[in-house]
Amino acid sequence: MTTAFLNDSYLPLEEARISPMDRGFLFGDGIYEVIPTLGGKPVGMGAHLSRLQDGLDALSITNPKSETEWRELVSALVQKNAQHLQSDSVGIYIQVSRGTVMNRAHGYPEDIPPTVFAFAFATAAPPVEDINKVSVFSVITGEDKRWQRCNIKSTSLLGNVMHFQQGKSAGKQEIILLNHRGEVTEASACNVFVVKDGVIMTPPLDNQILPGITRKLVIDSLKLEGIEVQQKPITKALLDNADEVWLTSSSKEIAPVTSVDDKPVGSGKVGDVWLQAIRVFNRHKFEL
């Protein structure tokens, strides 16, 4: 039985109850994070908590916990669920909504305590450092029709859900989105990297793109070993002619894409630069 956390209490996930008048339910008025752990050790914890704070600040929600308390919560959920999940790879989902109200009104209510909910779940094992054994992705592209504040990790994810379903309905594992200028923003649940002639590139951060923690860890880990990642606009033409394409997220780490719009990426096989990147990432991901 999965143990969850709700408003300062640990309880079975099946027994967790949130009021239908919670603004997270009524408006999607909240922020979430997914923190990966491996062998009980969190990956990118500081960066995840910093992004959580940025999101709460953007929505004018008071952070209900200190950094130490968040770290203790993550550790406790990993420990309480270790026997049940029986996985070395565990994700911790954290959601903070503005709280529960007695009337539905768009304006921010004052002086209500935030709702804090968290639970643990088993995640897929990290990618293996082997070109011949790693799982690969096939994707399509599509017009990005989401709202213009994608840099906020809001629980209002309907746009992302619809785009993910668009890719799934096409028989693919993801969709890479393009803005009105025909430039890559991100995938429905991942950031995007491309490699051309040995140069690693990813779209620059702005309001169109979630500042992914794995994206940051990839850039920072490569920098530690003297490898530059260029943050620049990625056109559809560059995507179509890339030697390698990667998706990054907390659950996928660095996932190679071998097909875009039913056309092979480069040779159609996992590339050597991906192998170098995943090895560097694995060397540094716990220290960043």
Please list the active-site residues. 32, 153, 186, 210
**Looking at the chain, which runs of residues are DSSP E strands?**
3-6, 9-12, 30-38, 41-42, 89-97, 115-122, 137-143, 174-178, 184-187, 191-196, 199-202, 229-231, 244-249, 253-260, 263-264
Conformational region of residue 142, where left means phi above 0, alpha means psi within -120 to 50, and beta covers everything else: beta
**From the CB of residue 64, how many other CB atoms can be counted at a distance below 10 Å?**
16
**From the CB of residue 246, how many other CB atoms can be counted at a distance below 10 Å?**
29
Does residue 70 sit in helix, strand or coil? helix
* Cα 279 from Cα 175, distance rounded (Å): 26
